[in-house]
Amino acid sequence: MPPSLPSITPALFAHCRPGFETDCASELMVAAAENGFTVAPAAERTDGYVALTLDSPQAATKVIEQIDFLKLAFTRQWFIAVAEIGDLPRDDRVEPLMEAFRTLGQPVHELFVETLDTDAARPLLRLCRSIEGHLRNRAQKEGLLAAKATPWRFHVCFTATDRAFVGLSPIANSHPCPMGIPRLRFPKDAPSRSALKLEEALTTLLPPYERNRWLKAGMTAVDLGAAPGGWTWVLVQNGLKVTAVDNGALAAQVAESPRVTHLHADGLRYRPPKPVDWLVCDIIEKPQLIADVVLRWARQGWCKNAVVNLKLPMKTRYPILAKLLPPLVQCCEIDHWAVKQLYHDRDEVTCFLRFERRSEPRKPH
């Protein structure tokens, strides 16, 4: 059972990339409606979050438990906002936050103190770190932060120095990092920063047990549009043998790897001589064209898993994604897919797709 929510009208609070608030709100409202819930439209925002009003605390709990977080492309992190606290005193911001914490009635297992991913909110990060230490100590002393695992997490999201949303998220159905931003360091040997994009995708879209099972040394992969080799490099670090397909040059540290075969060819027209374990693709092209390529690979049985980026047009991002996803998902094993606009993405989303096994995959021709 979740902690008791205060008897107020809660909101579904969702972090998103600044500029994508409308896409985030539209996607959440459609997902809620598909699950039988009605939410009030969000006010137009430009500050990296949306807040959708729900009918009741019970509806809020059901929404955030029933909608699969990994299938919401534009929501980086989310929680049930049970209150928005304003006029926090400069000399003691912790006590009003603790009072909100106490109203939940039972302990939680994790605590996040965060802010928004905007230039305006960036100065608040230092305040968040300071407040988190004090709030954590107080919560532990009062028994509100449990050492034993419970399924819920407490959030405090500062939108100004004296204002914060507070609420709850289910640990198993949300991002494991504050604001939905993992702490990844750029590896010194990686050929490009695109390596961080694939690493974030594998970390965010695959649960650890699935990554250990489906991404193992000795597996094979094809990287379409590989140059200069950031994604190929990540796969090689995981022990895979990679066919890197691109007319462009690979970075020396990638091209010289014994696990890499570089083919100078058009990635969109390439046909593998035999099926592989993984297809990855980060080609800058129209999203419909990329989706068609991935669909061909799926239907022909040329790969078991895929990680692919879809570059979305600015004015129709969510409608285009809503059109392209269903055919891809129909090729997947039940529920074995995920989509997110990652922190390292820009005007794009990253999809993980695990395709239905075929007893006799068709031979490429």
Catalytic residue set: 311
Quote the longest CA-to-CA distance of the chain.
71
Nearest to 157 by CA among 166, 149, 148: 166
In order of 178, 189, 195, 206, 316, the CA distances from 347 in angstroms are 22, 26, 17, 22, 11
Phi, psi of 28 (to 5 degrees): -65, -40
Contacts 24+ apart (CB under 8 A), 234-242: 234/190, 234/195, 234/198, 234/199, 234/202, 235/198, 235/278, 235/280, 236/260, 237/187, 240/215, 240/277, 240/278
Confirm if 76 and 143 have CB atoms less than 8 A apart. no
Cα–Cα distance, 70 to 354 (Å, whole number): 14
Neighbours of 197 (CB within 10 A): 24
Q: How many residues are present in the chain? A: 365
Cα–Cα distance, 304 to 84 (Å, whole number): 45
Residue 147 makes CB contacts below 8 A (sequence gap 6+) with none
Q: Residue written as tokens 């695109």?
A: 194
What's the angle, vertex CA 335, arms to CA 22 and CA 11, rounded to 5? Answer: 35
